[in-house]
A and B are shown apart, each in its own frame.
Chain A
């Protein structure tokens, strides 16, 4: 054990940890800028402290032990999602019953944690030693593992979270030797079916008016209803655009967020705040930092001692990439507005801690690459 600890300090992925902490620190500055009069940035720093402790705890625990009891975590996660649905315990915010009130801390969103437990469960199922391609039965069971939390989250009306779950399964299946023709078939089908489904949805009024407006504003923000459903996207575009190369020269009190033109500036629209404040150069640096973080994780996956480790890291990569792209894409007006937080940046304890736990997992996998 002492040897592991010694080696641990040497093999510990310092770059990964500090990259994550650095992004959170930079994000906290943006949160403070976005809501100078509120205490969100202090909460975020406290959250960072908790998150780092959680990360270290996970990192120095053998991930194999954790994955072995993954079903227990998985079921516990599902229970949390059920509890959220109980009125009185679950908090309803913006029409979504997705938060649990926790005395002392405030509220937290279990779907963020369940993402980790689901990834663990998938890694456990697909991580067994295998030869040959995936069978359809295996794919179906993988789907079922994902479907259970998704259905519960859908009951919370939290569509955004659901979308960030899908890539976890996709990437696990992709890396679990699914036949490449299935992948291509699924891609082609997706490209064809998605617009078709939208068109059918519009025609049959299953896609509601406001949802259509959110799509329209992406297609043509100039002509969209800037004061109605297009408001958020339009204001976000303005905030980002105003940033220019080096950031807008508007004083803090007169910023888009301070004057409340930009909604939810400390959570969903934190990247717009960053873009307006720091300009193109700041944005590119942040994208670069995220890229580096993801590459570092992928590099860790490549060196993972077993399939389970590789899968759990890559599931995390899939979830993070998807969330980063959806969130920033939404803020830049290329994706419709759905409430997905930006990992490591948006104010919110659950997302922050869950992300650090995931990173802790990845570090744990790497720490044990020479063991055995």
Chain B
């Protein structure tokens, strides 16, 4: 270098600069090596995740049909506004309460409650802001995309139940899985996550896994503000399996109608096919609107409505057919008669027992409502002679009665395919010990009480109807059920194909039907008695239908002791029946709570349902308009006077 002098060593300094340049570039190269080659996969995954979102597409649940293919429950598409979790990171949820509640007209308190609740859960994917939104709401969300990019509109099918509460107790309802449920192992195993809608009652609960579809999803690309830019993949949801139930909508409507117009508007009408256990109708009144749970429950009004249902003294949420126990009154006499003959306490040739207008056991007199002389078993059933059955009970003894209870499964659940069925209370030495610890001994007077459907006999309508159905068909007791068929979904052979499925009893270990060995002649004799109740001047004579032989038995179950049985403490009115008497097609029980005599209230209700059945199957008007119910002879109003009967429902 021309200008260099020895003291400056420019060349050397230039070298230093050169080395410095290389060093700096090398630092960058090493850093690139670390970021791209050492940690490349890790960063690539994070980068992928921040732009890919899986948006679930909720699968529609299977539609529930009646036996003739008429839809009972379906789903309609609704739109929800939700907040997507991924895009909420770092944003204060509660700052959104005010603008969102104002713009979408949601209750601010409800919203902040929900935010507080859901943000405490680690794994939420989205938060529901408003359900079933209007087109205006959707337009607002779209217009404010820049301001609230975390808002999304999501399509969700919503269950639509009959709004008058018809079949509410059978169908049940769906609702969002609760925080407590999420902690339970049974739900965890199935992989449910917050926000999932599941069957919570009735058939919706029992058959959730079949009715439930498989959710699909949209795999989308979002930009840094969470706005959807592109769709990569769509996996369509697979709908759930449609369910054909055994319900006959015509009979169901008739049954509901009868309860609605009954004296107290409380009770049960239960119809089943005694030949296979299919339930044709189940009406329990009062009822409720299941749409509350699948929709309105998330609103303030909805929660108030729910609270009102819970505290309603008339217990509308209760399925009275399977969750309530009632004293069966004289309907109890049918299995008693069968068992008495089976056990040899009476014989077909010598079945006469004294009525005596009642019976004195020890120093207590328990009376019969009439004086029937010395009726045979058939007449005792026809005229509902209590005196006869007191003496039959004493002949059978408590052990004989327990054997009967066992034989007809009255001390077990029927195994019906809706949840929360309760077990009936039936007479036994243990039951007495539990009920009256002060005098735990089982005495003859207890046997008398146990033999006519009071005090120790407190059973569910479904258990009663199952036993009577079994007797009707000669001893085959089928498990009551609602399922006829789950329809197949998908292409046969495909991995996600769900084949057709018929009824499978929930408890496979129990025989279906359970065979009760009833000799033909015994069966015939008892049937004659039941036939006579309606067709030969018995306690149910008022509902006779010429040409369609109804066999039945009235029952009037005391709720409180004699003399107080007025107003809301009136007796429960029962009528259990089947028809035709010698070729059973249909079995039917009606219970009208606190309405009075069985022949008076329950029997006419039963008859009107039979009318509908007759029209359907015989294609003609049922013979004879229903006569105005006459007051039949009162029956078994006689329980021990001192003691109040414990009981009635649940």
CB distance from A23 to the nearest CB of B (A): 14
> Given contacts A302-B14, A310-B10, A332-B32, is CB(A321)–CB(B21) below 8 Å?
yes
> Given contacts A248-B44, A259-B221, A259-B224, is CB(A298)–CB(B36) below 8 Å?
no
B222 interface residue per 8 A CB criterion: yes
Stretch of B45-53, B204-212, B431-439 contacting A (4+ beta carbons < 8 Å): B45-53
A160 interface residue per 8 A CB criterion: no
Given the complex of chains A and B, what is the CA–CA distance between A171 and B166 in angstroms?
A: 91
Q: Which one of B5, B46, B222, B229 contacts A131 once the chains associate, using CB atoms below 8 Å?
A: B5
Interface string of B78-113 (1 = CB under 8 A from A): 000000000001100000000000000000000000
Given the complex of chains A and B, what is the CA–CA distance between A47 and B22 in angstroms?
A: 29
CB contacts (< 8 Å) of A318 on chain B: these are 17
Interface string of B1-44 (1 = CB under 8 A from A): 11101011011011011101110110111011101110111111
CB distance from B442 to the nearest CB of A (A): 76
Given the complex of chains A and B, what is the CA–CA distance between A325 and B26 in angstroms?
A: 10
Given the complex of chains A and B, what is the CA–CA distance between A245 and B51 in angstroms?
A: 21
Interface string of A275-304 (1 = CB under 8 A from B): 100011001100100110011001001101
CB contacts (< 8 Å) of B8 on chain A: these are 133, 177
Q: SS class of chain B's interface: helix, strand, loop or mixed?
A: helix
Given the complex of chains A and B, what is the CA–CA distance between A324 and B29 in angstroms?
A: 13
Q: Which one of A244, A294, A305, A332 contacts B44 once the chains associate, using CB atoms below 8 Å?
A: A244
> Given contacts A129-B3, A175-B10, A254-B51, is CB(A314)–CB(B44) below 8 Å?
no
CB contacts (< 8 Å) of B10 on chain A: these are 175, 177, 310
A57 interface residue per 8 A CB criterion: no
> Given contacts A242-B40, A317-B17, is CB(A302)–CB(B11) below 8 Å?
yes
Interface string of B591-624 (1 = CB under 8 A from A): 0000000000000000000000000000000000
Closest B residue by C-beta to A256: B47
A334 interface residue per 8 A CB criterion: yes
A103 interface residue per 8 A CB criterion: no
> Are B223 and A298 closer than 8 Å at their CB atoms?
no
B225 interface residue per 8 A CB criterion: yes
> Are B36 and A245 closer than 8 Å at their CB atoms?
yes
A243 interface residue per 8 A CB criterion: yes
CB distance from A153 to the nearest CB of B (A): 23
A307 interface residue per 8 A CB criterion: yes
B230 interface residue per 8 A CB criterion: yes
CB contacts (< 8 Å) of A333 on chain B: these are 31, 35
Given the complex of chains A and B, what is the CA–CA distance between A321 and B223 in angstroms?
A: 35
Closest A residue by C-beta to B39: A241
Q: Tell which of B28, B41, B48, B229 has the most Cβ of chain A within 10 Å.
A: B28
> Are B90 and A227 closer than 8 Å at their CB atoms?
yes
A235-276 interface (Cβ within 8 A of B):
237-245, 248, 250, 253-254, 256, 259-261, 275
> Are B17 and A174 closer than 8 Å at their CB atoms?
yes
Q: Which one of B3, B17, B44, B222 contacts A259 once the chains associate, using CB atoms below 8 Å?
A: B222
Given the complex of chains A and B, what is the CA–CA distance between A324 and B23 in angstroms?
A: 13
> Given contacts A241-B44, A287-B28, is CB(A306)–CB(B3) below 8 Å?
yes
A328 interface residue per 8 A CB criterion: yes
A22 interface residue per 8 A CB criterion: no
CB contacts (< 8 Å) of A283 on chain B: these are 29, 32, 36
CB contacts (< 8 Å) of A256 on chain B: these are 47, 51
Instruction: Name 13 A/B residue pairs within 8 A (Cβ), A-sorted.
Output: A131-B5, A131-B7, A227-B90, A244-B36, A245-B37, A291-B25, A294-B21, A295-B18, A298-B17, A298-B18, A314-B17, A317-B17, A333-B35
Q: Could you list which residues of chain A lie within 8 angstroms of chain B, going by C-beta atoms?
A: 129, 131-133, 171, 174-175, 177, 227-228, 237-245, 248, 250, 253-254, 256, 259-261, 275, 279-280, 283-284, 287, 290-291, 294-295, 298, 301-302, 304-307, 310, 314, 317-318, 321, 324-325, 328-329, 332-334
Known: A243-B36, A259-B229. 18 other contacts (CB 8 A): A131-B7, A133-B7, A174-B13, A175-B13, A228-B90, A240-B43, A248-B47, A253-B229, A254-B230, A259-B51, A261-B50, A279-B36, A280-B32, A284-B32, A287-B32, A298-B17, A298-B18, A332-B32
